[in-house]
Amino acid sequence: MAFIDWVLHPTELWAAFWYVMRHAPPDEKTMQLQVSGDMKRCYDFLEMTSRSFAAVIQELNPKLRDGICLFYLVLRGLDTIEDDMTIPGAKKRNLLETFHEAIYQEGWTFKESGPDEKDALLLVEFDVVIREFLRLPIEYQEVIADITRRMGAGMAKYTRTRVESLDSYNEYCHYVAGLVGHGLSRLFAKSGLEDPAVGENLELANSMGLFLQKTNITRDINEDVLDGRCFWPKAIWGDYAATEDELISKTNREKGVDALNVMCVNALHHIPDVLEYLSQITEPSVFKFCAIPQTMAIATIVLCYDNPRVLDDN
């Protein structure tokens, strides 16, 4: 009931988030002092690449903490390659499609990222991540490698294919985020902290990922169009603009905001699944890990809805 109250009063979501983050148990707050060597460097990379996820990952139950940290870093490495517009298409597709093999190759690194790639250092020192990945329980390794393989194949597909239809939009979001929900749910179940059913009902897990990804895609339209790409489906924006540039143009502002609102509503369709998924999570640290990003995404969508600044600012 409390979570539904937050949904109905979205302005309270940020206060809830900061309360949770500031009231973590002391032994979890000092977790980083209890690791050293390669794993310490992995947590350094976690904080470098996503301070928000670093906060929630570090508060996870120790049975999951390192595994999910490494899962995140493996996928962040994959995502860094996908985002790098300086890597030639054929080479990028090969890297994406074989990344699940690279994580088993001790000493593998990648030093050819573009000069503006903010997470390039992770790939330069990726051998550190690999060493710790290979120390994980085999059942964790298998989940991470399987998700990496499937995600890499999907990313490679969309280096050649544009997001046009609503089906392709959902498929792209599944590859880059729904599969993360699959992997996390399977890890939760493998750890024994959650019921095996959590790792089996993957439709709900997919929606968890899709809601977060669609929120990011909706919010980032200005930056993406200026970078020469667009993940809004043409099936939506094509009703309001002739080109992607026109979509964010001030001369087309009213129609651009109408398209923005359709994107927000599309994302919000996943909320019932999000609530159902959260209702089956029983371990407190896992619940916080799942709920905090979702509440932040709800707050973000609320800020985006009918807000022309989304079209103007990165």
Q: What does the pLDDT average to over 253-260?
A: 98
Please write the tens of the pLDDT for every residue from 163-187: 999 999 999 999 999 999 999 999 9
DSSP letter string over 61-85? Answer: -HHHHHHHHHHHHHHHHHHHHHH-T
Count the Cβ atoms, other than its own, within 10 Å of residue 37.
10
DSSP percent split of the chain into helix, strand, coil, nearest 5: 75, 0, 25
> Going by C-beta distance under 8 Å and a sequence separation of 6 or more, which residues neighbour residue 109?
123, 124, 125, 126, 127
155 CB-side CA count, 13 A: 32
Q: Identify the band that residue 254 occupies on the pLDDT scale cut at 50, 70 and 90.
A: very high
pLDDT value for 29: 42
pTM over 0.75, yes/no? yes
Contact 308, 226 (CB under 8 A): no
**Cα–Cα nearest to 206, from 161, 170, 154:** 170
Buried b (16+ CB within 10 A) or exposed e, 61-92: bebbbbbbbbbbbbbbbbbbbbbbeebeeeeb
Distance CA 240, CA 222 (A): 15
Residues with catalytic roles: 172, 219, 229, 289
